[in-house]
Amino acid sequence: MFTFANNFIHLNVNKQQKAHKQALKVISSDRERTNILRKYEQNLIAYLVQRIPSWISSDMLTLIGFSGSILIFFSFFLATYVHPALLLLGVAGFMISWFGDSLDGRVAYYRKIPRKWYGFALDITADWLGIILMGLGFIVYVPGSWEMVGFGFVVMYGWEMITTLVRYKITGKYSIDSGILGPTEVRIVLSIIFTIEVLVHHSLLYMSVIVTSVLLIANIVDTLKLLKLADECDIREKEQSAQKTN
């Protein structure tokens, strides 16, 4: 009896492991991740896509992710006019945002009903509107000229998005990461900053300057790499055109 039970458990574990590996393969098939937490994040996503109820669609997950951005905006608003500790709602907002944003497209691929270009357009639009909301919330929260830091953050994030789209156009490969940093790492850093701000008031002002400066440096580096890549593509196309002419 014990042997039968042990064999049953072993068989069930193997079946789950096989299903997890298959899900992991499917969700990572159309993009290359380089972020430092990719191994843990991809395993978690592979686990979740198998358990999302069938009645929850990809569009619903995108809406859930966007609701996280709305919550982040209101966390700034409530922290300003009700109580500073309510800024912690923003941490919950980042978690909700990660959940919806990470699973919407992956669920579609796992269910074998992807809409590549529709999903791409919707995802980019939702991300951009979410960043605008975050920037507006920051402007509501901070005093005076510090508002320019919020504006700078939105500009830097927009620059990063443009670089990502242009890289996709040139290479045909879509990556949401900038080196070892991806949206997940950025959400974690911002959640830590929000938490510290509740403990040490106005620390957010100085840390936001650091984050925006880091984004500026990363964008400059990525843009230089992109220009080099674009130049190589131009040279290759000219060589191919010359060979056809000859």
* Rounded Cα distance, 41 and 27, in Å: 11
Tell me the C-alpha distance between 161 and 130, whole Å. Answer: 13
Residue 246, pLDDT score: 66
Q: How far apart are CA 56 and CA 100, in angstroms?
A: 11
Q: Residue 13: its pLDDT value, please?
A: 52
**pLDDT the model gives residue 14:** 64
Helix (H, G, I), strand (E, B) or coil at 22: helix
In the chain, what are the helix, strand and coil shares in percent, each to the nearest 5? 85, 0, 15
Domains of the chain in sequence order = 2-245 (1.20.120.1760)
**pLDDT reported for residue 8:** 44
For residue 78, CA distances in Å to 73, 138, 143 come to 9, 12, 15
| pTM reported for the whole predicted model | 0.84
DSSP state of 87: G
3-class DSSP state of 9: helix
Query: What is the pLDDT, as a whole number, of residue 30?
Result: 64
- What lies within 8 Å, CB to CB, of 205 at 6+ separation is 142, 146, 149
pLDDT mean by block of 10 residues, the chain; 246 residues: 51 62 71 78 88 92 95 95 95 95 87 85 90 91 86 87 84 74 86 93 89 89 90 85 74
How many residues are there in the chain?
246
* Nearest C-alpha neighbor of 90 from the set 185, 195, 201, 186: 195
